[in-house]
Structure 1
Amino acid sequence: MVAAVRTVLGDIAPGELGVCDAHDHLFLRSPMLPGQELDDRESAAERLRAFRALGGRAVVQWTPHGMGRGADALAELSRTTGAHVVAATGLHQAAHYPPELLDRIRDDLAALFVAELTEGIGTTGVRAGLIKVAGAFHTLDAHARLTMTAAAGAHHRTGAPIAVHLELGTAALDVLELLCGELGVPPHRVILGHLGRSPDGAVQREAARAGAFLAFDGPSRANHATDWRLPEELAELAGAGFTGQLLLGGDTTVPETPGMPHLLRRLRPRLEGVLGAEVMETVLVANPARAFAFEAPGA
């Protein structure tokens, strides 16, 4: 199997991905965010067009199964805007789902994830390109262990990358101990999200030394207290030799999030002033091409 990134329009060579928003949402619905749904197709198209106008080429949507990921709209949005879009399978924390949904699917999660990666999401024909799971605050609860075990099983069968929501940026090392230590997922197949929400440099460096990709995503109202630390965090990691493992995303979770355009219009030039254009090219282009590529199972 030749390495490829699985977009909603089909597999592409990793080098075709281009400037990538490595963690975002075009569509999202959760009982934890009542009245703040991302469910408008034209709004999603406007954000994609604005991102493309600023030089963006690809968006990786981390919205997993059962959270209104808009699979029936993603292919058309990709075609009409010219942006590559990667969709997700997987499950978020239990609080984001009605109990009856979890009761219906929990016994065969790995098979569900594999089906959405290889056959398609529902009847849309759109195949997922990554597996999204989530930890708990400073720990891994039973639901996290269940979903991560299923994600590892699906990874071993498909070679798909695994993206992890770290609750408030915590439990990164617990995640790696489970996924990579106990379940045998290669560390470079794991993408740790939200690390900037708990700006602990020692933990970030240890996760980087383990070999995982580190995703820094935002800004948003919820994380404004730590977002401003981003330039110094990335500078420290790059200076320690981990440039090749850094990713950036907008993480649009509610309509008011600055999101995709902000990533390139405001954040990129600020970071280029600190890190240099060459490092930012690596972070926005080369690293996503490796992080989101499928590998032959067992590679």
Structure 2
Amino acid sequence: MSHVRTVLGDIPGAELGVCDAHDHLFLRSPRLPGQELDDLSAARAELAAFRAAGGAAVVQWTPYGMGRRAADLPALSRTTGVRLVCATGLHRAAHYDAESLARLRGGRLAALFVSELTEGIGTTGVRAGLIKVAGGFHALDAHARWTMTAAAEAHHATGAPVAVHLEQGTGALDVLDLLCGELGVPGERVVLGHLNRAPDPVVHRQAAMSGCWLAFDGPSLAHHATDWRMPEAVRALAEAGFGDRLLLGGDTVTAGARSVDGGPGMPYLLRRVRTRLTEAVGADLVDRMLTEHPARAFAADWPPAQE
């Protein structure tokens, strides 16, 4: 039976509730100096605000080596009543220093992912519930191919979903050619993120034909120019028959973007985005995008624990 792997244990997908399918409670990167998400009290307040807006679950896409603070996630989940899903995986090379990457390349990356999915992250006991990797801008470099190959191997060993950061929303078809075509990951086990950043309806439809999940996440200061196109893109996919493959997320990546720090944050997904999308595609589809769809996208038939 498929379950969503949360930081407090596995649950049936139906218990996930209203879900922000792509966000970050904690995140550190040399690409975002001085904008780190690394404040425990602010993370707690943000989750409480999301809960007050009607939210019940958050999928945190922060991967290995970017300040996940996995040890803090169970207490945050218990305190706020929000279910949390944690990621393993690896982001673009630009988010890591050379020494860290060299150390990782000296080992078996897939084995690291499998260990974090099945045994736990470090000594925390927290098991990841998805694998996060990233493509490049309109292309896949050697780093992306290395991480995606490891992600595919880990998927085949565990059944875990593979979530992909699309740089500026591009490269979706190249990612699918590699993950699903060459590496044999079923389309329905792949989540493509940031499609709102490159609202090309033809590419969106072509990607949807693979059976993958299409995530629309934001808003974002860096990509605000395309925010207004999101309802139109979602409606086009729904009208083309792909309404059952859509996910919604907030993707809060800097401290200033949190609602408790004056930004839109996680509550905005339910406070404004939900209302705007309801006008475009109707309340029934939006409700399914926030509940039924993430429950299916992030569930897996996890292998039994090793004795």
Aligned to 1:148: 148
Alpha-carbon distance, 1:210 to partner: 1.1
Counterpart for residue 167 of structure 1: 167
SS at match of 2:191: strand
Q: Secondary structure at the match of 2:291?
A: helix
Write the letter of the residue equivalent to 1:182.
Answer: E
Percent identity for Structure 1 against Structure 2:
69
Deviation at 1:225, TM superposition (A): 0.4
Alpha-carbon distance between aligned partners in 2 of 1:40 and 1:129, rounded to the nearest angstrom: 23
Q: How do 1:103-114 residues align onto structure 2 when only pairs under 5 Å count?
A: 103-106=102-105, 107-114=107-114
Deviation at 1:295, TM superposition (A): 2.8
* CA distance in 1 between partners of 2:93 and 2:236 (Å): 34
Q: Distance in 1 between matches of 2:270 and 2:49?
A: 10
- Contact 2:3/2:302 (<8 A) preserved: no
> Displacement of 1:296 after TM fit?
5.6
Answer whether contact 1:24 1:259 (CA < 8 A) is retained. no
Aligned position for 1:128: 128
**Residues 1:261 and 2:273 aligned together:** no
Deviations 1:26-57 (A, max 9, x none): 00000000000000011101110111111111
Q: Structure 1: any 5+ residue segments left out of the alignment? A: none
**What is the aligned residue count?**
296
Task: Report the secondary structure of 1:259's partner residue.
Answer: coil
Q: Which amino acid aligns with 2:26?
A: F
Q: CA deviation at 1:247?
A: 0.3
Return the TM-score normalized by structure 1. 0.98
> Which amino acid is the alignment partner of residue 202 of structure 2?
A
Structure 2: unaligned runs, 5 residues or longer: 258-263
Match of 2:71 in 1: 72
TM-fit CA distance, 1:102: 1.1
1:284 and 2:290 are equivalent in the alignment: yes
Q: 1:180/1:255 Cα in 2 relative to 1: closer, same or farther (>3 Å)?
A: same
The 1-side partners of 2:243 and 2:157 are apart by 29
Aligned 8 A contact 1:87 1:129 in 2: yes
Q: Which amino acid aligns with 2:238?
A: A
How far apart, in 1, do the equivalents of 2:23 and 2:194 lie?
12
Q: In the alignment, what sits opposite 1:62?
A: 61
Question: 1:19-30 maps to which residues of 2 (within 5 A)?
Answer: 19-30=18-29
Q: Which residue of 1 aligns with 2:17?
A: 18
DSSP-derived class of the 2:44 partner: helix
Q: For residues 218-246 of structure 1, what are the alpha-carbon distances to aligned partners after superposition, in whole Å with 9 as ceiling and x for unaligned? A: 00100100011011111111111111100
AA at the equivalent of 1:167: E
Report the RMSD for the aligned CA atoms in angstroms: 0.8
